[in-house]
Structure 1
């Protein structure tokens, strides 16, 4: 009697309706949800909460220390389980760097379809996350697991920062330069991967950018001339630039030809290899954006492309722009670029 043929292991991305930060609820819908929640008394020690959609909460411990707390998790953006774990962990830790902090500890958040995925696959996801945390110098000190319909992985991450060095997304000043640490296009690459149209070079680029920890955030926190900091994730460059501008009561201006793009993603976007989240992002905030007369659908898709583990977006005094770029270069971020500025007004203007 022959042995039964084992069932093939399904592609991770086939088990989820969305992947990476493209899973985020659209910003317009999220705003409506949060408006319906009851307001709670805010203790004076809570230095950063949800008021400006910042990257993490910050709680004052003493005169020298403030605790940063954040969480991030999502469904697979790639099929390799180890790579999925690495991307998810890098993305979660980024929020601490985006506040100017140093991560100190993480907790794992794991939801897996136990009857569908082999235990070896789930173990590889966790190993990927552990290896990234080791690179960041932090332990995964615990966590929580559930049996879920879709595979989900992420982290709760905590960090420390001196209270005087907290970098909010709302502190920009008129005249500040805007600097982006990583190129755009991760969402496009993930869309191509899901449709089996991403080659080895494209996959290597996807992994290179999504697993590079935003460690320059620690050094940027030491510069008083860095007035605001955030990371570009699920709402795309446009969405996070608008959050920065709104928080400061200013207008963001972006020189589109200066914005770094992952090689090849423009052609992919022109072929329609874009995520559904890109369109949802535009629907949510497109009314606040001024576009040039000649503006293609591909450019719009890249402007709103959801970035998983995207780059830091920095607002700094223009005289410090070169120093900020040098810090990025020293950290291995060769694509970092000055992409625009902030001025009086409202919204986002593309040039």
Structure 2
């Protein structure tokens, strides 16, 4: 039996839906610590704990079951995905701990390959592997608990865009749709290879470039899809205008969307949006792309308009698919996102 066939779901598509998750968090006891400057109530990408005027720690955790057949590739994707929250907040990854669940009867060489893949991405990030924890489970799962650092005065939040900003997306969309096609034996090698390369790609390089520009907000686009992450970015104060024709897409992603190769997670994202966004002007295929869960997706960056082209050109040196996809405007009635 294959590695991937052991799993009922994989990647960020396995995330609990945003509606359900919000309900689970509602009744958690609260403890106030003034040094915890970003916690789960902010729906930000990671927690931030301030140690001094010049130093704060970023803490995040992410793990999931496989979305690809090759264990080493899975390890690389899972590690890249786990570190992404640190980059989205303008931080540097320091070290990480492995999180491992593995079937007792599965070939142990596959676990070794997963761990090698994860370690390769940590080395690329110039971060240390400091240990971890492992248990036996019915399905393989892997990820990292990641610690990073950031200047407290330079934290980039996910919900602080400014009117007039331009929106940049650093990776192409369509990972979930392509992986759905892979599971159904319908994808081409070109589409599958492009999706894997995108998922393995560290957001480190784009984050290093954006540090030199007036970025007002940033988030990484993962399991909740572009629209839900954009909705979090807009908050209550602004409207994001997103051009669907400007979206960078992975090869054949639009075709798979037309063939309704949607994922369960994509439908959960749609249910969460419900009546919050007017989708009537958007084709059904683009709707699926906008809701599509992205495993190890790109950064959605809100940057001052006068520096947006320079920021994009800098990012494109290492991430050539990056594109301007919209702008931030004054709040229009009750619409947080307008699709054009």
TM-score range, shorter chain: over 0.9
Q: 2:69 aligns with which of 79, 103, 117?
A: 79
Contact 1:52 1:243 in 2 (8 A): no
Aligned to 2:323: 337
Summarize deviations over 1:112-165 as a string: whole Å, max 9, x none.
1111x1011111111110111111111211010000111110001111111111
SS of the equivalent of 1:273 reads: coil
SS of the equivalent of 1:153 reads: strand
Q: 1:254 aligns with which of 242, 253, 261?
A: 242
Q: 1:326 aligns with which of 313, 323, 329?
A: 313
Q: TM-score, normalised by structure 2?
A: 0.96
SS of the equivalent of 1:95 reads: helix
- Residue 276 of structure 1: CA displacement? 1.2
- Flag structure 2 segments of 5+ consecutive residues without an equivalent: none
1:158 paired with 2:139, answer no
Q: 1:136 aligns with which of 119, 125, 137?
A: 125
Contact 1:232 1:311 in 2 (8 A): yes
Q: How large is the Cα RMSD of the aligned pairs?
A: 1.2
Summarize deviations over 1:212-244 as a string: whole Å, max 9, x none.
100121342343x21001100000000100000
Q: Whole-Å Cα distance in 2 between the matches of residues 272 and 318 of structure 1?
A: 36
- Residue 47 of structure 1: CA displacement? 1.3
Q: TM-score, normalised by structure 1?
A: 0.93
Q: 2:279 aligns with which of 287, 291, 295?
A: 291
1:24 paired with 2:11, answer no
- Flag structure 1 segments of 5+ consecutive residues without an equivalent: 1-9
Q: Whole-Å Cα distance in 2 between the matches of residues 128 and 207 of structure 1?
A: 13
Aligned to 1:264: 252
Q: Whole-Å Cα distance in 2 between the matches of residues 241 and 155 of structure 1?
A: 25
The correspondence of residues 68-217 of structure 1 with structure 2, limited to 5 A, is 68-115=58-105, 117-215=106-204, 216-217=206-207
Q: Whole-Å Cα distance in 1 between the matches of residues 174 and 310 of structure 2?
A: 26
Q: Whole-Å Cα distance in 1 between the matches of residues 339 and 31 of structure 2?
A: 39
- Residue 296 of structure 1: CA displacement? 2.7
